[in-house]
């Protein structure tokens, strides 16, 4: 067995001896039998963006094979408001690559994410997961490129205040114990997410740290590694479920809420994106951002306002999108600039061997990281429908390749200063603004709906339902 597989933190990968993308039905059945799994949980995301569960007892081999082969029926109208009650029956069918051992179950339990199908056995066109698949397929057809992504999950852990080793207000960035009170929680959550298949880059405490009514509010972040965009979405929804469940086990409150208190750091859900040709990143050429990456950015700029319809879904979202909070307010992009909508973070593109400088005995080692560069969308938050937000982002990137003069559009939207500083007021006023409330977001989506409905990616009824919901606030 491959050493990486043998030493994997994921118990299924370690036992089966395959990467998740290669899991088969037989692999799942063998794992269930060999490890005396007693419960199978089908999991799927509904309109409220939360994981739903359908429990199955593993009573015998025939029944196990049946549910893994055929799935089961569910009431679609109770999961999605735009599905009519008179045609609501749907099938949920497991995707074996998403199987994971439930870290909280006292009875040995295997969870598997599912896809939705209609009565005729066709994928449900309005299913967020399938919309993401369609968006990715069209992007690949139009560009010949692959689209990878990852998310930065920001959240607050809330517990009783302690008197010793308090962290100053809004000074929690990368704090350590004993000043970081919930490092134990963040570390355990990170471990459990990794066991469930999440490919994590790192985790740390964030800026937000304050006390209200003898409760401490401590902001944390878990950042993932880039992977196929559908896998990235799957990992994020499982991670959110693990974080909520673990907090409940410890008797802690946990919040993905965009803005908890005025003047305190809000929580976002930043998405990093990367373009690949084959297995190679094409984000950088000759040490600078490639034309392909700039085309994608142009698409993000073109669709920026409408992206909020999927990534900023509640009124509270817009209390975060204000100046001087490291959150975007205008449609622009820049390098290493946290005041812009789309940021190009450090990507190890320099030609200096930092490893050798820090460790002189490593001078002979190569220092090349051509695949590290990403482009980060900073507007989305914890209210986002993860699948739909990523589907909209992939669609926007495709639009960037299809539009006239994308490089010119990218150039016009580029800024290299903090646009909220007073000396840059004229530049700030010249830039197009992001929506400031749900109603404006709804109008932006209505104006841009042609981009999303093209090629059958986003169904008309889902766009209508999204506009209706946003307009109702």
CA nearest neighbour of 11 among 23, 223, 221: 23
Which pLDDT belongs to residue 335?
86
pLDDT, mean of residues 292-316: 97
pLDDT, mean of residues 398-403: 97
Share of the chain above pLDDT 70, in %: 98
Domain regions of the chain by residue span:
3-124, 133-471
Q: What is the band of 346 on the pLDDT scale with cuts at 50, 70, 90? A: confident
User: What is the architecture of the domain spanning 3-124?
Assistant: Roll (3.10)
In this structure, of 68-72, 86-90, 268-272, the range with the lowest mean pLDDT score is: 86-90
Which pLDDT belongs to residue 167?
87
Q: What is the band of 430 on the pLDDT scale with cuts at 50, 70, 90? A: confident
DSSP state of 77: G
Q: What is the band of 265 on the pLDDT scale with cuts at 50, 70, 90? A: very high
- Max CA separation in the chain (angstroms): 72
Using DSSP, how many helices (H) and how many strands (E) does the chain show? Answer: 15, 18
Q: What is the band of 115 on the pLDDT scale with cuts at 50, 70, 90? A: very high
Which pLDDT belongs to residue 367?
67
The kind and range of the H/E element at 111 are strand 109-117
CA distances from 174 to 27, 194, 212, 236, 428 (A): 41, 21, 21, 22, 31
Please tell me which residue, 408 or 421, carries the higher pLDDT value.
408
Which pLDDT belongs to residue 370?
63
CA nearest neighbour of 223 among 284, 155, 167: 155
> Is domain 133-471 given the CATH code 3.30.590.10 in the classification?
yes
Q: What is the band of 70 on the pLDDT scale with cuts at 50, 70, 90? A: very high
pLDDT tens, 117-167? Answer: 999 999 999 999 999 999 999 999 999 999 999 999 999 999 999 889 988
Phi first, then psi: give them for residue 147, nearest 5 degrees.
-120, 115
In this structure, of 171-175, 269-273, 294-298, 309-313, the range with the lowest mean pLDDT score is: 171-175
3-state secondary structure of 117: strand
**pTM recorded for the entire structure:** 0.95
Q: What is the band of 38 on the pLDDT scale with cuts at 50, 70, 90? A: very high
Q: Do domains 3-124 and 133-471 have the same CATH topology?
A: no
């Amino acid at each position: 067995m491959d050493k990486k597989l043998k030493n994997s933190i994921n118990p299924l990968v370690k036992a089966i001896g395959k990467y998740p993308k290669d899991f088969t039905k037989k692999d799942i059945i063998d794992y269930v039998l060999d490890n005396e799994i007693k419960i199978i949980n089908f999991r799927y995301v509904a309109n409220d963006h939360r994981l739903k569960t359908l429990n199955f007892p593993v009573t015998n081999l025939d029944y196990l094979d049946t549910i893994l082969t055929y799935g089961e029926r569910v009431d679609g109208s109770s999961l999605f408001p735009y599905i009519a009650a008179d045609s609501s029956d749907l099938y949920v069918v497991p995707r074996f690559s998403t199987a994971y051992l439930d870290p909280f179950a006292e009875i040995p339990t295997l969870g598997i994410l599912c896809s939705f199908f209609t009565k005729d056995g066709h994928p449900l066109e309005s299913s967020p997961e399938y919309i993401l698949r369609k968006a990715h397929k069209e992007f690949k057809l139009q560009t010949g490129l692959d689209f990878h992504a990852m998310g930065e999950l920001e959240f607050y852990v809330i517990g009783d205040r302690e008197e010793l080793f308090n962290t100053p207000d809004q000074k929690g960035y990368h704090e350590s114990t004993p000043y970081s009170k919930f490092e134990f929680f963040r570390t355990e959550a990170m471990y459990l997410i990794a066991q469930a298949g999440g490919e994590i880059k790192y985790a740390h405490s964030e800026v937000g740290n304050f006390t209200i009514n003898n409760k401490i509010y401590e902001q944390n972040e878990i950042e993932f590694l880039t992977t196929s965009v559908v896998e990235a979405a799957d990992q994020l929804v499982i991670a959110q479920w693990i974080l909520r469940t673990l907090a409940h086990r410890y008797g802690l409150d946990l919040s993905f809420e965009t803005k908890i208190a005025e003047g305190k750091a809000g929580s976002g859900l930043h998405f990093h994106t990367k373009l690949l040709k084959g297995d190679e990143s094409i984000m950088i050429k000759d040490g600078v951002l490639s034309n392909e990456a700039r085309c994608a950015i142009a698409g993000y700029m073109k669709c920026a306002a409408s992206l909020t319809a999927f990534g900023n879904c509640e009124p509270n979202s817009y209390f975060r999108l204000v100046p001087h909070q490291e959150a975007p307010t205008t449609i622009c992009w820049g390098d290493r600039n946290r005041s812009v909508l789309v940021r190009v973070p450090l990507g190890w593109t320099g030609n200096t061997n930092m490893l050798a400088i820090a460790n002189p005995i490593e001078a002979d080692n190569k220092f090349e990281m051509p695949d590290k560069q990403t482009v980060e969308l900073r507007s989305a938050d914890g209210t986002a429908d993860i699948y739909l937000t990523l589907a909209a982002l992939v669609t926007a990137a495709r639009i960037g390749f299809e539009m006239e003069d994308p490089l010119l559009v990218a150039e016009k939207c580029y800024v290299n200063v903090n646009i909220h500083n007073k000396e840059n007021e004229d530049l700030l006023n010249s830039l197009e603004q992001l929506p400031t409330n749900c109603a404006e977001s709804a109008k932006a989506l209505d104006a841009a709906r042609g981009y999303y409905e093209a090629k059958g990616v986003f169904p008309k009824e889902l766009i209508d339902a999204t506009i209706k919901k946003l307009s109702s606030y």
